[in-house]
Amino acid sequence: MNHPIIKIDRLQKDYSVKIKQSFWKNAFFPKYKAISAVNDISFYIDRGESVALLGPNGAGKTTTMKMLSGLLYPTSGKVDVLGFFPFDRKNEYLKRIGLVMGNRSGLAWDLTPNQNFELAKKIYGISDHDFLERVGRLTEMLDVEKFLDKQVRKLSLGERMKLELVASLLHNPEILFLDEPTIGLDIISKQRIRSFLRDIQRESRITLLLTSHDMDDVKKVSDRVIVINHGQIVFDDSMPKLLRNYQDKKYLTLVLTETVTSKVIEKFGKIVDKKPLSYTIEISKSGQSKNCRYHGKFARRRYRHYSRPPGRNYRRHVHRQTKLRGYRFSLSILLLNTTVTAISVSPNHIEKFFAPPTI
């Protein structure tokens, strides 16, 4: 029988956000409203599991991870990690977890990785024997032995991230929290880190909790996926099931400059999210050819050499093109093999946008 080592029950985290007012009102009588970053979520994670938290930017993944690692105090709900309330930040708890953040550095920039590791050795009370064995083994696995005596600020992002991973594993933690560990890395470094994490997880039965926007990270490193959106869990199951459920659908978010009735939008797909000036529609596979013709044709014309969806270059190009045509393209991200696109369109142009292109 499995024993959960992470237990979350009805967890909530609200942030207080300043309401926009006039300059003087803002300066002397500021008003705030509460915004839920994490809204009533519950899940359990067993020892040795590798779990990914997925979701768009601002969904609440990192906030959840920060509450689990004791950085943020929850507004309400229960959190139990390894039998501790994380925010108490007891030494016995902190010695059993590790944290790696893709866009934060735990290593001092002015020193070498070796000097940083020595400080960690003192802080975590690692014996000489274990320290030498772990540094040797981990650096060999990641092929970074040659960078141990180079100043951290002179390392490339990939080299630094690998050494951050080594630093986070020196004390042999039971749980490793990874917040976008491969962000900004080249494909080779990403692959190396993914296979390293998988090997480490299988070898030492460490529990991994990962957040990432990169689907390959999730596929290669995690067995279970929890999808969070608007602070709530919308999916919690295995990776293959997630792909089966969602890969056929595309989600398109339209950010409008003026209000439009739902009826106009419904013609293009099922409305799954509605805000005063934005709609997110779900477009089934059959509807994609009709509704996304503009994108499809555009992509085929400009990027015939791409065998897969062309990613950033394509989006940048669409951005430029749509701008020229009077549309303002705001954001496009790839999630779960389905495209979530935020596009700002004027209501008069909405029909035209979905219509076949004239180019």
What are the residues binding another protein (CB under 8 A)?
A: 15, 62, 66, 69-73, 89, 91-92, 94-95, 97-99, 101-106, 108, 110-111, 115, 119, 122-124, 151, 179-180
How far, in Å, CA of 91 to CA of 294, rounded? Answer: 57
Shortest separation between residue 114's beta carbon and another protein, angstroms: 11
Alpha carbon 254 to its chain's center: 22
How far, in Å, CA of 334 to CA of 252, rounded? Answer: 11
Question: Hey, is 78 helix, strand or coil?
Answer: strand
Q: Which is nearer to another protein, 110 or 258 (CB)?
A: 110
Torsion of CA 182, 102, 129, 123, to 10 degrees: -170
Shortest separation between residue 181's beta carbon and another protein, angstroms: 12
DSSP string, 305-333: T-SS--THHHHHHHHHHHHHTT-EEEEEE
Q: Which is nearer to another protein, 172 or 338 (CB)?
A: 172
Question: Hey, is 157 helix, strand or coil?
Answer: helix
Which positions ≥6 away from 255 have C-beta within 8 Å?
277, 278, 330, 342, 343, 344, 345
Amino acid occupying residue 263: K
Shortest separation between residue 350's beta carbon and another protein, angstroms: 32
Shortest separation between residue 214's beta carbon and another protein, angstroms: 15
Q: Which is nearer to another protein, 206 or 283 (CB)?
A: 206
> Which has the closest alpha carbon to 335: 210, 213, 223, 191?
213
Q: Which is nearer to another protein, 64 or 288 (CB)?
A: 64
Shortest separation between residue 27's beta carbon and another protein, angstroms: 13
**Contact yes or no for 161/182 (Cβ under 8 A):** yes
Q: Which two tokens stand for residue 337?
A: 């093999």
Shortest separation between residue 65's beta carbon and another protein, angstroms: 9
Alpha carbon 125 to its chain's center: 32
Q: Which is nearer to another protein, 174 or 282 (CB)?
A: 174
Q: Which is nearer to another protein, 180 or 256 (CB)?
A: 180
**Contact yes or no for 125/174 (Cβ under 8 A):** no
**Contact yes or no for 53/226 (Cβ under 8 A):** yes
Torsion of CA 302, 304, 309, 311, to 10 degrees: -50
Shortest separation between residue 222's beta carbon and another protein, angstroms: 19
Q: Which is nearer to another protein, 99 or 193 (CB)?
A: 99
Question: Hey, is 210 helix, strand or coil?
Answer: strand
Shortest separation between residue 84's beta carbon and another protein, angstroms: 12
Q: Which is nearer to another protein, 111 or 260 (CB)?
A: 111
